[in-house]
Amino acid sequence: MITRQSGDADGAQQAVTSGVAAAQGKNAPGNGMPPDSEAGHGPRNQSLAALAVGAIGVVYGDIGTSPLYALREALRPVAHDGLARAEVLGVISLLIWTVTLIVTVKYVMFLLRADNHGEGGVLALYTLTRLAVGRRSLPVLALGIAGASLFLGDSIITPAVTVLSAVEGISLVAPQFQQYVMPVTIGILLALFIVQRHGTHAISALFGPVMLLWFVTMGGIGAWQLAHDPEILLAFNPLYGVDFLLEHGVVAFIVMGAIFLAVTGAEALYADLGHFGRKPITTAWFILVFPALILNYLGQGALVLRLPETRENPFFLMVSPELRPFLVGMATLAAVIAAQAVITGAFSMTRAAIQLGLLPRLSIIHTSGAQSGQIYLPAVNWLLLFGVLAFVLAFGSSEALAAAYGISVTGAMLVDSILAVLFFSIGRNWPRSLVIIGAAPLVFLEATFLLSNLTKVPQGGYVPVILSISFSVMMFAWWRGTQLALERGHKEMVELDSFARSMRRSSAHVVPGTAIFLTADSQAVPPALLHNLKHNRVLHERNVVLSVQTERVPVVPVMERAVYAPIDDRFARLTLRFGFMETPNVTRALGQARRVGLKFDVMTTSFFLGRRKVIAGARTGLPLVLDKLFIALGRFAADPSDYYSLPRDRVVELGSRMTV
C-alpha cells in the first residue's frame, strides 16, 4: 500500500501556515510512544532475537562493509618502502581500539542512552540539547544544522564507495572483467535508487539474514587467517598503536584518516535507535558484529604479516581463489544493503529536518501501510542518485573515493560528542567536570581524526566539504526566513478573541457550513479569513482556526493529537500536534478530533489556505542573499493541501504578498 503526502508550496506557506512549532520554541509533554501510536517506528512486540537480527541488517550495514577497504587504505601510506611487522601490528592496534572507543564506548554504552522518547540521531540529540538549554541558542542550532548537513553529505559518498569496493573484487576473480567494474557498479546503483519508489519492505526481511551470514563469514575467514599467525593478537596491546604514532609522525597522522574508515556507519547505531530499541542494537553488537569485525581485522593483519604483498587487497585475498567468487557476491549484497540503510537514513533525516523547520516541505510518500518509517522522498532520492553517480564517475575507483571519504563522518561524530556533552551536563544534571573529563579523550580523538581527514581535501575531500557547507547554508537560510516571516506575521496580527466578539455585530453574510482556516498562530486571525471577509463579505456559520504544531518529541500519542477550544458559538480553535518524526495527516487527525468535541460534516466543510508570496526586502549583502535563497527554496516545496492530506475538492486558497 502506498499513501502519498507532500509539503508546502512556498516559503511563506511554511512560515505562516505550517505551524512549525519547533521554530517557535513549542514543547510537548514527554509521554513517549505508546504501542497504538499511528506513527510507530517498527513493531514493538517482536522477540529480542528477531529485533537483533533486524538490527544486524539495517543498523550495521555500513560499518559491516568497512573491512573491504579500511585496512587496505590504512596500510597504503606506510607501504611504499615495505611493511615491518611492528607497522602492521600498530595499524591493527589502532583499528581495534578506534572501533572499541568510538563505537562500543561512545555510541553503544553512552549515546544510545540519550534518546528522545525512543528516537536517536543527531537531530534527536539536537532537540534534547535545545530543550535542556531552555532558550533559543544559535550555537546549538548551528551544531544541529552542521550535524544534519554532514550526515546528508555522507549519504551521498557512502553508497558510492561501498558498492564500488565490493564490485572491484571481480577483478580478483576474473581479471579480464576489470573493464566491467564501472558499468556493473553504475547498474547496481541505478537499480537501487529506482526501486526506492516501490518501498523496500518486501525485501527488507532478507537484510537481517544476509548480513547475519556476512558477519559470520567475515568472522570465520578472519579466525582462519588468525590461526596461521597468532602473533597478530599482540595488536590488542594499545602500546603498539602508540608506538606507531610516535615513530611515524606525519605519516601516522595521514594513516589516522584511513583508520577512521573502520567506524563509518557508527552514526547509524544512534540514528536507528527508534526502529529497534537499545537492547536489540547492543545485543547484536556485542554478540556478533563487534567480534566479527575484530576477528576480520586480525585475520587481515595476520595475512599481511605472512604475505606482505596481499596488502593491496587483503580482504578478498584472505580466501582461496575457489571461494573468492562467493565472497565477492556476499560483499556485493552487503554493500547494497549498506547503501540501502544509508538512503533510508537520509530520508528519515530529511523528514525530521522538515518538521523541525530546517528545510521546506518536500513530497513524502509512505510506502508501507504498517510502518510509518518506510518513506520515500523523490527529490532526495534523485539528488542522492545524481551525487552518487557523479562521485563514481569522477573518482573511478574505491581507492580514489576513500581519499574523499571520512570528512563528513568525522565531522558528524564530533558534533554528536559536543551535543552529548551539553545534554548530559545540562539536561541530565551530571557533574559538568566529570562529563568534560570523560568526553575529552573522545573529543580529542575525533578532532584528530577530523584534522587528519582534512588533509584529503586536495585529493577530493573538498567535495563532501562543499556539499556539507551547501546543505548548512540552505538549512540556515530556511530557518532564518521562517523566523522573519513569523515575526512579520506577528506584527500584522489581529487578535482572534476580540475579532470573534466584533463579528457578533458584523453585517457580513453568514453562510451555512464549516470553514477551517490553517494558520501558524492560533491566537491571531488567519489572513485567509480576513481576505475572505474583506473581498467576499461572507462568514461561515462555524469557523475553526486550525494550527498544526510540530512538537520536539518524535511521536505524539494519538489520544493527545487534538486540542479543541471553542471561543463562542461561531469561532473555535483546534490544535493538531505531531512529532518531528511524523508526517501530518490532517484529514485523519480531524476524525480523531471528534473525540474532543469538534463537530463537522466534511461535505459541508471548506479548508482555507493563505498562500503568501514572499519578496525580498531592502537589505544588502549577505542578508539579501539569504533572503533570496529562502525564496528560491520555497519554490521547490510541494503543495500544502497535499502535505496535510486535505480533501482536494474542499480546499480554497487565497493569496497575498509578504516582504521579509
pLDDT in tens, 1-49: 333 333 333 333 333 333 323 333 333 333 333 333 333 344 444 688 8
Kindly list the strands in the beta sheet with 651-659, ordered across the sheet, starting from the edge strand earlier in the chain.
562-566, 571-579, 538-551, 509-519, 605-615, 651-659
More confident: 20 or 434: 434
pLDDT higher for 475 or 528?
475
Distance of CA 535 to the CA centre of its chain: 45
The pLDDT > 90 percentage for the chain reads 33
Please check the confidence at residue 356 and state whether its pLDDT lies above 70. yes
What does the alpha-carbon distance between residue 571 and residue 501 come to, in Å, rounded to a whole number? 10
What is the fold, at CATH topology level, of the domain defined by 32-455?
Amino acid/polyamine transporter I (1.20.1740)
pLDDT the model gives residue 46: 64
pLDDT digits (tens, 9 = 90+) for 620-645: 778 888 888 988 888 887 777 878 88
Residue 260 to residue 216: CA distance in whole angstroms = 23
Does residue 371 register a pLDDT over 70? Answer: no
Q: Are 540 and 548 in contact (CB under 8 A)?
A: no
Going by the DSSP 8-state scheme, the letter that residue 5 receives in this structure is E
Res 464: pLDDT: 84
**Integer Cα distance of 81 and 288 in angstroms:** 37
Mean pLDDT (the chain) is 83
The grid coordinates of residue 593 equal 478530533
Strand order in the sheet with 375-376: 3-5, 364-366, 375-376
- Radius of gyration for the chain, computed over Cα atoms and rounded to the nearest angstrom: 27
pLDDT at 28: 33
Confidence of residue 136 (pLDDT cuts 50, 70, 90): confident
Element containing residue 329 per DSSP (H, E)? helix 324-355
pLDDT in tens, 38-72: 333 444 446 888 888 888 988 898 899 999 999 99
> What pTM was estimated for this model as a whole?
0.79
Rounded CA separation 48/56 (Å): 12
- Looking at residue 20, its pLDDT comes to 29
Place of cell 541505478: 190
Q: What is the pLDDT of residue 220?
A: 96
pLDDT digits (tens, 9 = 90+) for 442-485: 899 899 988 988 888 888 888 888 989 999 999 999 999 888 88
Which 8-state DSSP code applies to residue 314?
Answer: T
Looking at residue 399, its amino acid is E
Q: Indicate the pLDDT class of residue 218, thresholds 50, 70 and 90.
A: very high
Contact, 53 vs 208, CB < 8 A? yes
Show me where the domains of the chain are located.
Answer: 32-455, 489-659
- Determine the pLDDT at residue 368: 62
Q: What is the DSSP string of 363-416?
A: -EEE--SS-TT-EE-HHHHHHHHHHHHHHHHHH-SHHHHHHH-SHHHHHHHHHH
* Most distant CA atoms of the chain, gap in Å: 95
Query: pLDDT: is 385 or 120 the higher one?
Result: 385
